[in-house]
Amino acid sequence: MTTPSLPIIRLRPNANARAIRRGAPWVFSNELVLDRRTKALAPGSIAILEDAERTPLALVTVNPESKIIARVLGPADGPRPDVEWFAARLSRALELRERLFTSPYYRLVHAEADGLPGVIIDRFGDACVIQPNAAWADLLLDELAEALARVTGVTSILKNSGGRGRQLEGLDDVDMVLRGTAPDAPVPVEMNDAIYMADLTGGQKTGLFYDQRPNHAFAARLCRDAKVLDVFSHVGGFALAGLAGGAASALAVDASAPALDLAAQGAERMGASARFATRQGDAFDTLAALASEDARFDVVICDPPAFAPNKPALEKGLRAYERIARLSASLVEEGGYLVLCSCSHAADLEKFTGACLRGIGRAGRRAVLLHTGFAGPDHPLMPQLAESGYLKALVFRL
């Protein structure tokens, strides 16, 4: 049986074809010839990308409804995605994680950096949670799930549709079970000697943030015998890592009561409940309230959601980071430590550092920068895609 030929899409003459040849994984809508045929392609279609001279550049997936109109899947003469194609890429991703970790709790697939554009897969032992944040992956979800079960041997595979990327791709927000059954209770995950409770069906994103693992470990070394404050704590984040590192006490602050309940369950499993407390509320309001109470901490950590998720939000986001730095710095004991984090790819390291230093200065404090941290190696950075290096963690001594 003859394989049907693929549609052709073409770059504009002024588009940077060299970037694609050098590994850039995205083509934006203003770089493509948007003729009637291209606009009529169904979201998730597979096509051949050509340069303006009609030379094939890459096999791509196309979504005319997205600003990222094409995502590179491989060479133009390469195989089309099917179960075997997925299995090969998943096997390569798994081989790396099995070298890095002794237990099957990690990010298995980090989108473009693992050759699966827009796809996130986090593993929790015998369960995996997929975020198919691009139309092509949503269309081929059955093939992806079949390959994932074959390669990893997991018995439960869930689809999480809460990612912001799905909205930008025009996709639904319906979660579902793809294989097996959903866990009927939160899954305990051990990292850096702390225990986190991951809610795979009702929690944020896939249930747990693996990206901060190395930064938790570094901060934990500063927490021995310390009084610790962890703001935007989610399910315990830095607070539980600090307790595992010997903190005298840890206070976790978050707006989500369910997240704080999971954090308390983690502390209980660690035998650290007596040293752990939670406080529900808006982070900015809580930081101001703690200052009015003359509260002081040896270590303060702030790990907020993305204040600058895109370039239009950058200036507002930087002001928010500056405000967080100012409020949190005022709570740090003399000689204590302040950890400030950003998961905003639009705020690069230089801009984020500048905002933090302005805030620390406005609090009347002086700082030295001890350490700059990034996401763990199960979140590999694709050099041609700045967005994949989104996470920054700055550790200051005040």
**Do the Cβ atoms of 349 and 392 come closer than 8 Å?**
yes
What domains can be seen in the chain, in order of their start residue?
Answer: 8-74 (2.30.130.10), 83-179 (3.30.750.80), 187-397 (3.40.50.150)
For the stretch 203-226, pLDDT in tens is: 888 899 999 999 999 999 999 999
* Catalytic pick among 128, 223, 343, 356: 343
Strand-strand pairing, 368-373 and 276-280:
unpaired
CB neighbour list of residue 115: distance below 8 Å, 6 or more residues apart: 74, 89, 92, 93
Walk along the chain (398 residues) and give the pLDDT tens digit of each residue: 445 699 999 999 999 999 999 999 999 999 999 999 999 999 999 999 999 999 999 999 999 999 999 999 999 999 999 999 999 999 999 999 999 999 999 999 999 999 999 999 999 999 999 999 999 999 999 999 999 999 999 999 999 998 788 888 989 999 999 999 999 999 999 999 999 999 999 888 889 999 999 999 999 999 999 999 999 999 999 999 999 999 999 999 999 999 999 999 999 999 999 999 999 999 999 999 999 999 999 999 999 999 998 889 999 999 999 999 999 999 999 999 999 999 998 999 999 999 999 999 999 999 999 999 999 999 999 988 888 789 999 999 99
**Tokens read off for 318:** 């930087």
CA distance 48 to 139: 18
Does the active-site annotation cover 343? yes
Beta sheet of 249-254, edge-to-edge order: 276-280, 249-254, 227-231, 297-302, 332-342, 392-397, 368-373
Q: Which amino acid is at 297?
A: F
Beta-sheet strands, E only, within the chain: 8-10, 26-28, 45-50, 56-62, 68-74, 105-110, 119-124, 127-132, 156-159, 176-179, 187-191, 194-198, 227-231, 249-254, 276-280, 297-302, 332-342, 368-373, 392-397
**Do the Cβ atoms of 291 and 332 come closer than 8 Å?**
no
CA distance 34 to 380: 33
CA distance 376 to 215: 8
